[in-house]
Structure 1
Amino acid sequence: MSFPREHRPRKVRSVTQAATATVVDRLLHAAQKLLAANGIRATTVSEVAEEAGVSRAWLYRHFPDKTTLLGAALVRLTDAFWTDARRELDTIDDFAEQLAAGVRIGRGAYDDPGALLIRLRAEEPEEFALCTGAGVSGLIPDLASFWRPYVEAAAARGEIHPDHDLAEVSEWVARVLISLGTIHGDTIDPDDRAAVLSHVRRFILPGLTADPGAS
């Protein structure tokens, strides 16, 4: 039994598109694995092709060079990280708890292969900028933008004084979380959730609930 002629091209295109998507997924997965293990400089096109089980010629059919390939892998890694972070934070309706969770999530970015953005920006800023088109300077604005909806929700719940500039609060939150998550000190263990939450409640929230216009 044969299908009508007009249906054949559509089926061929569908199969071809599915095959292409599978190859691209394998290449990006392989690139992500090697980025997590080796970083940007030490990851080569040949290694990615070998890890994905395809030839270099087949890889180049989908990605013209290493920069494009690793840039696509970094974008997918970053999207996965922020999606997972939002999924977790959206289940919490207390701003202090969200901030404490944010420190833990941020620290996980250094170990989780699905969240290489912060680590690679810090360790290989030039290579990262080349691959993604955004340098280290974009980290604070990106993180502030991520936290802005949670800051707005906290303000609506009365956890942030209404006279605060929420854009400024979002950037301050981004800077505080990076500091807590990356810089060890003598009085707080960033891996101790209770200690981080206590720090947030004693030092961070009072600044947010205070009237910014008070002397």
Structure 2
Amino acid sequence: MSEAQAVTVADRLLGAAQKLLARKGIRATTMIEVAEEAGVSRAWLYRQFPDKTALLGAAIVRLTDAYWTDAHAELGTLPTLADQLTAGVRIGRGAYDDPGTLLLRLRMAEPEEFALCVGAGVSGLVPDLAGFWRRYVDAALERGEIHPNHDPAEVAEWIARLMISLGTVPGDTFDPEDVSSVRRHVRRYILPSLSADPAR
């Protein structure tokens, strides 16, 4: 088999693994099912990936890369932090529904299995999201949307925690499915906190 054919087989296997992860999760997905879904023999599967952990780990890494890339592509087009945060809630909620963005769902539903596959437990979720938001925090600081006395690393982590809460926990006065509700919450509570001097 040529190198190009090997890449194609690996892509088919990873695509099949992602579909099964979306339908069944980590625990219930088997190597045999992945091979069958991909239309590849078990022998070829094991030539590409020695075990389930390696296969699903590679599939999760691919999901993670696609999730961050797609999210950055959308948020990078928005002019203000308020717009980015409002869209961020919707994008984060999509991670629970879209088979191509399973990262959050897998981490929260099966943290031990997720940790085995990618070498990072559920505790990595906040630092990962903080790293994701840091570029938008830095840009908002430059535009004057965030008070210059704020620590950008702390702001990015706070936003990460807010995004998890806002995206996953509806309430009596806040509906994460309603864009106007999200925008109102961002403008009334989050932006005033960020524009104020934290020393006061």
Q: Pick one of 99, 105, 108 that aligns with 2:91.
A: 105
Higher Cα Rg, which structure: 1
TM-superposed CA distance for 1:184, in Å, is 1.3
Matched with 2:130 is 144
Measure the CA separation in 2 of the matches of 1:128 and 1:69. Answer: 12
Matched with 1:120 is 106
Matched with 2:19 is 33
Counterpart of 1:64, as a letter, is P
The TM-score, its normalising length taken from structure 2, stands at 0.99
Matched with 1:48 is 34
1:78 and 1:114 in contact (8 A); partners too? no
Q: How much is the aligned-residue C-alpha RMSD, in angstroms?
A: 0.7
TM-superposed CA distance for 1:153, in Å, is 0.1
Alignment of 1:177 onto 2:163: yes
Measure the CA separation in 2 of the matches of 1:204 and 1:152. Answer: 16
TM-superposed CA distance for 1:161, in Å, is 0.1
Instruction: Structure 1: state its 5+ residue gaps.
Output: 1-14
Matched with 2:44 is 58
1:144 and 1:170 in contact (8 A); partners too? yes
Counterpart of 2:89, as a letter, is V
Alignment of 1:134 onto 2:99: no
Aligned length: 200
Measure the CA separation in 2 of the matches of 1:183 and 1:189. Answer: 9
Measure the CA separation in 2 of the matches of 1:78 and 1:211. Answer: 35
Counterpart of 2:125, as a letter, is L
Counterpart of 1:80, as a letter, is A
Where do 4+ consecutive residues of structure 1 move more than 6 Å? none
Measure the CA separation in 2 of the matches of 1:205 and 1:186. Answer: 21
Counterpart of 1:20, as a letter, is A
Q: Pick one of 173, 187, 198 that aligns with 1:201.
A: 187
Matched with 1:160 is 146
Counterpart of 2:7, as a letter, is A
Measure the CA separation in 2 of the matches of 1:81 and 1:146. Answer: 11
Measure the CA separation in 2 of the matches of 1:201 and 1:184. Answer: 18
Measure the CA separation in 2 of the matches of 1:49 and 1:41. Answer: 16
TM-superposed CA distance for 1:157, in Å, is 0.2
Counterpart of 2:174, as a letter, is I
TM-superposed CA distance for 1:114, in Å, is 1.1
Measure the CA separation in 1 of the matches of 2:117 and 2:32. Answer: 17
Measure the CA separation in 2 of the matches of 1:188 and 1:26. Answer: 41
Deviations 1:24-76 (A, max 9, x none): 00000000000000000000000000000011111000000000000000000
1:31 and 1:70 in contact (8 A); partners too? yes
